[in-house]
Amino acid sequence: MDQSLIRQFRDTVGNAYVLDSQQERFAYSYDATPLYQAMPDLVIQPGDVEEISAILKLATKHRIPIVSRGAGSNLSGGTVPVEGGIVLHLNRMNQLMEIDTDNLTSTFQPGLVTADLHKAVEAKGLFYPPDPGSMRVSTLGGNVAECAGGMRGLKYGTTKDYVMGVQAVLPDGSIVRFGGKNAKDVAGYDITRLLVGSEGTLAVISEITAKLLPFPESTQTLVAYFRSLVDAARTVSAIIAAKILPSSMEFLDSGTMKVVEDFSHIGLPLDMEAMLLIQQDGAALQVEQDIERIAKLCRTSGAVDVQLAATPEQGDELMTARRAALSALARVRPTTILEDATVPRSKLAEMVDQVTVIAKKYNVEICTFGHAGDGNLHPTCLTDERDKEEIRRVEQAFEEIFHAAIQLGGTVTGEHGVGLAKAKYLELKVGSEGMDLMRRVKQAFDPLGIMNPGKIFAKDARRRVVIGNHEHAH
């Protein structure tokens, strides 16, 4: 990048917040998604919305790609700067500006870490339900850009169900606001919701107002083990059919259970085909009643063993084991590719079966876990990126998994986003006319195509990019 231009950026945000050494740029050349890497030309850490605006004006003038990011914990290559340009790192804009207990809202900057918001609102007896797996490091700006989900999706929805208002900067530098603290607001198109999940391809989100709920009085956890996958899936359906919506219904297959047990030593039985980890929250009396009914339904649907967590701590331990699934799997082989195929909840057993068949067909190792309650599965492939031949088989297997999900009425991504990793599969879901429409929407925001270029929309020529053998931090 031209030195006089870099000087203009330095003048805008201050010298310390423009990073251009090889080493610094390398740190922003990848995210939590394996197999993708590309160097940015410059990294900028703006301090406020005016600085973002000034940066975008210059970027527009000089047609420089802008990739905004927080912790880079996404799993779709969403923040890899495949066309170079500027990585806009929003870590300095991490203020929790307000918790409004009258209106049950919170307003914060995009760089705030998800778990920090959880802690702050919970201290006031309030609740921000979205809990993506990476919540200890992920930022809320990233959560909004990707429409992050988590374990509580079934009962509480995902990030899109909580974002009430945004301030955002358009590529030309104009600062816009949509939505706000109003529980009802139909003033024009719902641009707020359109920005949620837009993966940095439309605008830079500079402030967020989110809805909060009262924190549930009580939470209970139950674990059920199954000799057959079909029984586990039947149990999920039976609970829904009984008109109970648990806060979480998590699923682990036998492969994942083995690896998690190896990692956490919490005593998971290794002769089972599947386990469900079910959590209910709400008023104490109600939770008690629900958990009892759930336990009964597990037993009548074929669970071999049902255990109620005796204490909240024991419940937490079980959930922590589930949260450790990805870390545990990541230790087994050099490269871990976590996917996100999602189906309507009723198709869960069929989908897990198909994953097993496809893994066998391509001779690759896939463990499956995920959010059974909302059909959001994470088939996870343990592989080695240095083995080009195996990686080719892995890609073929995932391509077939995506097709299977679509065949079952599902989608190619439930909560990780399209990014680079799923760009070539998006058309499977929305069709060529849907793709054209999305391209026109992109154009309406970003006529020059400088916002996170290469994401969501596949260029046929581009396949999975690099890769050095750097270490990924999962």
- Of the pair 139, 167, the CB lying nearest its own copies is at 167
Contact pick of 20, 24, 116, 185 for its own copies (by CB under 8 A): 185
Integer Cα distance of 340 and 419 in angstroms? 12
> Residue 317 interacts with its own copies (CB under 8 A)?
no
Strand partners, 451: 66
- Of the pair 69, 455, the CB lying nearest its own copies is at 455
- Of the pair 193, 472, the CB lying nearest its own copies is at 193
Contact pick of 20, 48, 50, 100 for its own copies (by CB under 8 A): 100
Contact mark string toward its own copies, 213..232, x via CB under 8 A: xxx-----------------
| # binding residues, its own copies (CB under 8 A) | 91
Contact pick of 13, 99, 104, 309 for its own copies (by CB under 8 A): 104
Give me the amino acid identity at 316. Answer: D
Residues ≥6 apart with Cβ < 8 Å to 453:
65, 82, 83, 85
CB of 435 to its own copies, least distance (A): 8
CB of 444 to its own copies, least distance (A): 4
| Whether the Cβ atoms of residue 301 and residue 235 lie closer than 8 Å to each other | yes
Integer Cα distance of 419 and 339 in angstroms? 13
- Of the pair 300, 443, the CB lying nearest its own copies is at 443
| Whether the Cβ atoms of residue 30 and residue 36 lie closer than 8 Å to each other | yes
CB of 429 to its own copies, least distance (A): 4
- Of the pair 75, 272, the CB lying nearest its own copies is at 75
> Residue 101 interacts with its own copies (CB under 8 A)?
yes
Among positions 387-446, residues that touch its own copies (CB under 8 A) are: 409-418, 422, 426, 429-431, 433-435, 437-438, 440-445
> Residue 108 interacts with its own copies (CB under 8 A)?
no
CB of 312 to its own copies, least distance (A): 19
Contact pick of 3, 188, 267, 389 for its own copies (by CB under 8 A): 188
CA 174 vs. chain centroid, Å, equals: 28
Q: Which two tokens stand for residue 220?
A: 């209970």
| Whether the Cβ atoms of residue 85 and residue 64 lie closer than 8 Å to each other | yes
Contact pick of 102, 389, 460, 471 for its own copies (by CB under 8 A): 102
Integer Cα distance of 223 and 467 in angstroms? 40
Contact pick of 34, 197, 315, 453 for its own copies (by CB under 8 A): 197
CB of 462 to its own copies, least distance (A): 17
Among positions 323-342, residues that touch its own copies (CB under 8 A) are: 342
- Of the pair 83, 199, the CB lying nearest its own copies is at 199
CB of 58 to its own copies, least distance (A): 19
Among positions 286-315, residues that touch its own copies (CB under 8 A) are: 286, 289
CB of 378 to its own copies, least distance (A): 11
> Residue 376 interacts with its own copies (CB under 8 A)?
yes
Among positions 36-95, residues that touch its own copies (CB under 8 A) are: none
| Contacting range for its own copies; rule: CB under 8 A; set: 9-17, 173-181, 320-328, 355-363 | 173-181
| CA neighbor of 395 nearest in space, from 340, 464, 326 | 464
Distances (CA, A) of 10 to 44, 67, 76, 348, 451: 9, 18, 31, 52, 21
- Of the pair 205, 382, the CB lying nearest its own copies is at 205
> What angle (nearest 5°) sits at the alpha carbon of residue 445, between those of residues 443 and 450?
75
> Residue 371 interacts with its own copies (CB under 8 A)?
yes
Residues ≥6 apart with Cβ < 8 Å to 207:
49, 97, 107, 108, 109, 110, 166, 167
Pairing of strands 204-211, 105-108: antiparallel
Contact pick of 283, 331, 459, 473 for its own copies (by CB under 8 A): 283
